[in-house]
Structure 1
Amino acid sequence: MDDTNPSWDLYRTFRAVLQEGSLSGAARTLGLTQPTVGRHVEALERRLGVALFTRSRHGLAPTDAALALRPHLDMLETTAASLLRTASSRGSAMRGTVRVTASEVIGVEVLPPIFATLRRQHPEISVELVLSNEVTDLLRRDADIAVRMIRPRQEALLVQRVGTVKVGLHAHRLYLERHGMPASLDQLQAHALIGFDRETATIRSMQRRLPAFRRNHFSFRADSDLAQLAAIRAGFGIGACQLALATRDAALVRVLPRAFEIALETSVAMHEDLRTNRVCRAVFDALVTGMTEHVRRQDRRPR
């Protein structure tokens, strides 16, 4: 093993080969030649003193050593990306890149108009949007700012609560005209229900309040909240939808409003160290304003 510290280029190439499964795929991703990628891998193996790949019929197979190193490679990539974003947003000009994470539905249905307004005010601010229903680690700087539907539990975060997003059962009016409006939770089992495919902690909590919403009862199953929302809008059946989103579409009708409602405490959070970063603060404030308006919208249509 060579005691000198390998350059980041070698690690970056190694990570690309892991992701692509071949030297040629990594070369295309990095904009390098295949021989250069091969030399990078060989150089890193010499420096580390371990074999990283074995050849197979399907390409390059990572060794146990390579798989053990992968989490550290991901952390290096995250740190490098965070370093570039932070450097780009320093200075007196409102210029730079900010990485935002949000759930699928919020990221697609709510945030784009907020970002469009931000763009008109600050045209040199770029936004990277990560759609995930998983809670992103802001302390590790996987993202700069997060729109969260649960109470943040990490310390060292600047958190602004924007209100409670309410979720209720909805269906398209054409579906209800064909199949009737259920009069009770028990009657839901006679309807086409839209729900999840894989169970999560949040879903288990919902099931305690809504026994009819179990996987074997669903006529349409998807772990994507966007897919479920699309099925509701298409008139497939009854599913869960944010009240604020339902107010946009007169064809969506709330079902059993007094029997079922989920309240999701919503906030915008970012790392405390970014408090003085003018670019991050501008994006943070825009998200707080936009999400507050989204919460207010849910009470604008009679239930």
Structure 2
Amino acid sequence: MDWNLLKSFAYVVKEGSLSAASRALNSTQPTIGRHIAILEEQFGFSLFTRSRDGLEPTEEALDLYPDVEAMLTRFDSFVRRLEGEKDEESGTVRIATSEVMGIEVLPDMLKKFHRAHPKIKIELSLSNKNENLLKRDADLAIRLNKPAQEALLAKFVGNVSVHFYAHKDYLKTYGTPKKLNELKDHVIIGPDREQVFLSALEKFGININREDCDFRLDNQVGQIELLRKGLGIGVMQKPLAKRSSALVAILEKEFQYQMPVWAVMHEDLRTNSRVRLVYNFLIEEFQKYTSVSSS
């Protein structure tokens, strides 16, 4: 089977239309459409149905997609590995990390790295779910917990302190809570369906539940932005909060959550010069970042 056919199929599922898939693959819409038609003829069933919003994958297509996507991931990993063995100063490195780290923290670091190594391309996989490095979903990762798999090379780079913060304009209007149990009397920015952090608060004797949160969203970058706009009290990493003089720490002594940061890569890539270059760079940069928490 022609590999390009499967690649076109995967991108039509991801992008939702032939035109969007053709742009993502730097191809043409007729070519992508022809690939889908060939696959449908080979498989003997339809892969997509047309709708008002574009192309909807059929049930059969959705069953096939995870396996095809896994093949794409492994193929990209294979290409990156070959590139790394050719030249440590060129090629692609895929980094997996959380949304907050990827959007709020990594850009400044990667700007510095790109200036020093302009031929190395960086792919970012941003998700609060851990990418499976054993399956080569990414080359390396910045994780907020220690990996359990023995086949991974992990380096603890430091702890990031997480505190409650509020904008000074909010505190001017609503006042500042003096005790943890006074938080419920304030406007709280918190999660919607994700309850992991609220469960962590219970260990500090803070009984805040979903109904106590006036603004609810699971996207942590969105939570931070609401906090920055002065909508209420929320949690934030100390190094991020210190970038703005308008943010004030709340009950800093009463509540301090230490979040460990680990740099992780597959041990098979330890000899890949390019990946190791990025890995060592991120270790150094995140050691500087986490050191702000102790200051």
Q: TM-score, normalised by structure 1?
A: 0.88
Q: CA deviation at 1:23?
A: 4.3
Unaligned 5+ runs, structure 2: none
> Whole-Å Cα distance in 2 between the matches of residues 118 and 32 of structure 1?
31
Select 2:131's aligned residue among 122, 131, 136.
Answer: 136
> Whole-Å Cα distance in 2 between the matches of residues 112 and 31 of structure 1?
26
Q: CA deviation at 1:126?
A: 1.8
Question: Equivalent residue for 2:176?
Answer: 181
Q: 1:202 to 1:150 in 2, by over 3 A?
A: farther
> Whole-Å Cα distance in 1 between the matches of residues 113 and 18 of structure 2?
41
Q: Does residue 1:198 correspond to 2:193, yes or no?
A: yes
Q: 1:42 to 1:216 in 2, by over 3 A?
A: same
Rg: which structure is higher?
1
Which has the higher mean CA deviation after the structures are superposed, 148-157 or 284-293? 148-157
Question: Equivalent residue for 2:117?
Answer: 122
Q: Conserved in 2, the CA contact under 8 Å of 1:90 and 1:96?
A: no
What do the CA deviations read for 1:16-54 (whole angstroms, capped 9, x no partner)?
333344445544544545444343223223333444345
Q: 1:67 to 1:238 in 2, by over 3 A?
A: same
What do the CA deviations read for 1:205-264 (whole angstroms, capped 9, x no partner)?
334535443221112222221221122222222110112222222322211123222111
> Whole-Å Cα distance in 2 between the matches of residues 107 and 281 of structure 1?
19
Q: 1:10 to 1:167 in 2, by over 3 A?
A: same
Select 1:279's aligned residue among 261, 270, 274.
Answer: 274
Query: What secondary structure is seen at the aligned counterpart in 1 of 2:252?
Result: coil
Unaligned 5+ runs, structure 1: 1-5
Select 2:8's aligned residue among 13, 17, 22.
Answer: 13
- Give matches, 1:50-129, under 5 Å: 50-54=45-49, 60-129=55-124
> Whole-Å Cα distance in 1 between the matches of residues 246 and 20 of structure 2?
47
Q: Does residue 1:228 correspond to 2:223, yes or no?
A: yes
Q: 1:40 to 1:151 in 2, by over 3 A?
A: same
Q: Conserved in 1, the CA contact under 8 Å of 2:201 and 2:207?
A: no
Q: CA deviation at 1:7?
A: 1.0
Q: Report the AA paired with residue 41 of structure 2.
A: R
What do the CA deviations read for 1:80-121 (whole angstroms, capped 9, x no partner)?
221222222222442121111211222222222222222232
> Whole-Å Cα distance in 1 between the matches of residues 208 and 162 of structure 2?
14
Q: Sequence identity, in percent?
A: 41
What do the CA deviations read for 1:191-212 (whole angstroms, capped 9, x no partner)?
1111112224344333453544
> Whole-Å Cα distance in 2 between the matches of residues 122 and 56 of structure 1?
45
Q: 1:92 to 1:205 in 2, by over 3 A?
A: same
Q: TM-score, normalised by structure 2?
A: 0.90
